[in-house]
Structure 1
């Protein structure tokens, strides 16, 4: 009942609750880590072909530069809450930021593909700690009544960085060597570290709970196996191939084992009992579908321009700027609306708006008017800002302060798995379209329709969250 009254106050006082300057300073510092994590992924993905050619590695080998990073990120997400309680969330964020910066520098000097893959795995481990730790710091500083507006600042990095990544990466590869895709993280890391040491709150880290090694193996291995299996759909084009079904089944078995173990433990590695909080579970479920739509769109749009329209990297990046600009413009307003009306109400309309702006792309011909396409992408960016981020804010506002380390880890896990599902959906549709002899544009049209359906599912799940918040 305590949390319920807190949620009620959130919507009643949002318009008058001023955000202190120290909270904005904290948000500004944490954004450095968020930008590094999100921008790095899009930059490296753009440069995989160039990196493989320079290091003399095959495409199958160099793909592990991206895959290894994602799998490692899944492992460290599961241990983030335990580490935050053990060493303190600020120390964890600072340590992860240092590790991410150091491994980024080392990646630039990797002598061959094997070294680069190994260093990227270490970099992924650091990113999996840095992102939820930063969100925990923000959530604890903001409090539930200001969560939407403050998380909107981090959302700028989540939406904006992947959108501008192809443009920045294309320009860098056109004028510099691929090593600069990693070296660009150094100034971000140094500035973030200096500001973090000065402005982030200290304290915490008093827990003496031992590490549940078996739980880490089950949870971390389970998340990574599921994400890997889903990503293999893009390689095989089939959901029934052994390289897809085996890791997914093993991963689900591992997660089931972890769930049983965590529910029986008084000190679990991750507090899965948070899903007993109906507002939190509704927000994370809706976030799963919204993450699938968002990550799926971010993967499909570059392919749409490069494969269907034959544009180069730089031109593709320019074409995506409207999508990112729409998100950056709308996120601050989306945060205010979330604090005023609740994340459930905003996300219901926001995800419907995502579907309404993505679905028209399923009916456009290959020679569609460029202004019309850009207008739809800009509108989709606006909609995405009020579709995904309000759900994250609602999930964090639904839990107590001391529960935030586990809550941020669980939300990020659900979003990552949902994102893998969205990307897998795109891969299956495009591969099946090719195998069936459809025209290329038909495959992309069906893929856009599939992602619109995910947004509708996210909106439907958000109605449950809205109902819980209205009951509160």
Structure 2
């Protein structure tokens, strides 16, 4: 850990001590965002009962955050290029912290949903540029290592959040799930205010308002389409309508960024084949993960008959596997080839998914845990090296855009995975899990093909 804050001649970024403060602020903010999303899902029944609303209304206590965050990811990534990381991150963190307090004080469902929507906007402002900030303050020689720690934080907090959320609900009101954000949010604000430098924006150009509106419609309609498909368990008119809107807005967005001089997302970034392949590889892998994350609870509860608590425990080895390998994978990516390491991770991930898809009719709990652990190890070996590959193959001026793309492909991939699973449930609920896991295998295998193709660009294909 101390090597992250040591200085060497020629290091770009910030000195070690200031680097540590910025890292602490970014990591704390990420931790709050992950905890907030995961713990709230557990609390929805309690919140619905306390607010005296139906379950379909309480779902928006979670979806309001996801929807507003998804709609504004690209906007904040582009805005940070024009005004700088500091004002965007400080504003987003301030909004997130204040609306956390607002959620805790909400007395009506409408007020809570409104606060959650605002909280999602604040969360998007911080999460969309967090990797870019880490790249700006750390030297390139440490980029894989710090991104590995970032992936470890996300995985470990995802594993801990359900247990912590359940503990909080056992001894306190659901309001404390939001109130607990206020103190770390305030500390993070002070750290960012003191340490993140005031750097001039790299571009003084007009903001692409039309592109921003189209990106918001595109990402928002994707989330709503996935939500409709996965919650209705049939192909509804609503799901089809949102999907159609997503397709039309995607076409319009691509047309817009290709025709304007200063687009919301510069197409020139994608002329770098290694960046584009890393983004597509990540997209395919997150589609696979999105399918699997929805399929496994159905498998454990509906097929094998485990309780929700036991199902959560059976899933825990997955994030544990990421925790075990992600920091090492990030360090290896700084020394060896990041594409090669992420390709190896993807191959392991495919094997793990095949193992899950071929589980026997009545497997032992330890057998399920080992196969889930294997998936986590493979995914952890892939994620941080691939993120490094994306961020290192654009200039520092484009780091914010690359960070936004990273967040967008993750969100889009998970939403598309959810939509696939929803469609399968609509067609045949009894066989949906079996089909879903094999589709996840195909999606992850496609990511391996994409990843191998970029090895040819780096001249490393012969090493596999």
TM-score if structure 2 supplies the norm length? 0.90
Q: Does 1:237 align with 2:233?
A: yes
Secondary structure of the residue that 1:269 maps to in structure 2? coil
**Equivalent of 1:251, from 227, 235, 246?**
246
Q: CA 1:187–1:322 in 2, change beyond 3 Å: closer, same or farther? A: farther
Partner of 1:386: 381
Partner of 2:8: none
Partner of 1:266: 261
**Equivalent of 1:470, from 437, 459, 464?**
459
Is the 1:263–1:273 Cα contact (8 Å) retained in structure 2?
A: no
For 1:193 and 1:315, the matched residues in 2 are separated by 38
Partner of 1:187: 183
> 380-389 vs 20-29, which deviates more?
20-29
Is the 2:152–2:322 Cα contact (8 Å) retained in structure 1?
A: yes
Shift of 1:272: 2.8
Q: Does 1:150 align with 2:167?
A: no
> 319-328 vs 351-360, which deviates more?
319-328
Residues 22-171 of structure 1 correspond to what in structure 2 (within 5 A)?
22=17, 23-171=19-167
Partner of 2:7: none
Partner of 2:281: 286
Partner of 1:397: 392
Residues 335-414 of structure 1 correspond to what in structure 2 (within 5 A)?
335-365=330-360, 367-414=362-409
Q: CA 1:394–1:81 in 2, change beyond 3 Å: closer, same or farther? A: same
Residues 191-230 of structure 1 correspond to what in structure 2 (within 5 A)?
191-205=187-201, 207-230=203-226
Gaps of 5+ in 1: 1-16
For 1:382 and 1:459, the matched residues in 2 are separated by 16
1:73-127: CA deviation from partner (whole Å, max 9, x where unpaired): 1221121133213332022112211111111111122112211111111111111
Q: CA 1:71–1:136 in 2, change beyond 3 Å: closer, same or farther? A: same
1:18-43: CA deviation from partner (whole Å, max 9, x where unpaired): 99734454333311111111221111
For 1:366 and 1:188, the matched residues in 2 are separated by 46
For 1:206 and 1:327, the matched residues in 2 are separated by 35
Structure 1 segments of 4 or more deviating over 6 A?
17-20
Is the 2:12–2:140 Cα contact (8 Å) retained in structure 1?
A: no
Superposition RMSD on alpha carbons, in Å? 2.5
**Equivalent of 1:459, from 442, 445, 448?**
448
> 160-169 vs 408-417, which deviates more?
160-169
Partner of 2:415: 420
1:414-434: CA deviation from partner (whole Å, max 9, x where unpaired): 221111111222333344332
For 1:447 and 1:471, the matched residues in 2 are separated by 33
Partner of 1:328: 323
Shift of 1:394: 0.6
Partner of 2:434: 445
Partner of 1:10: none
For 1:371 and 1:230, the matched residues in 2 are separated by 32
Q: CA 1:367–1:187 in 2, change beyond 3 Å: closer, same or farther? A: farther
TM-score if structure 1 supplies the norm length? 0.88
Shift of 1:363: 2.4
For 2:215 and 2:42, the matched residues in 1 are separated by 30
Is the 2:79–2:88 Cα contact (8 Å) retained in structure 1?
A: yes
Is the 1:172–1:181 Cα contact (8 Å) retained in structure 2?
A: yes
For 1:196 and 1:316, the matched residues in 2 are separated by 39
For 1:388 and 1:328, the matched residues in 2 are separated by 12
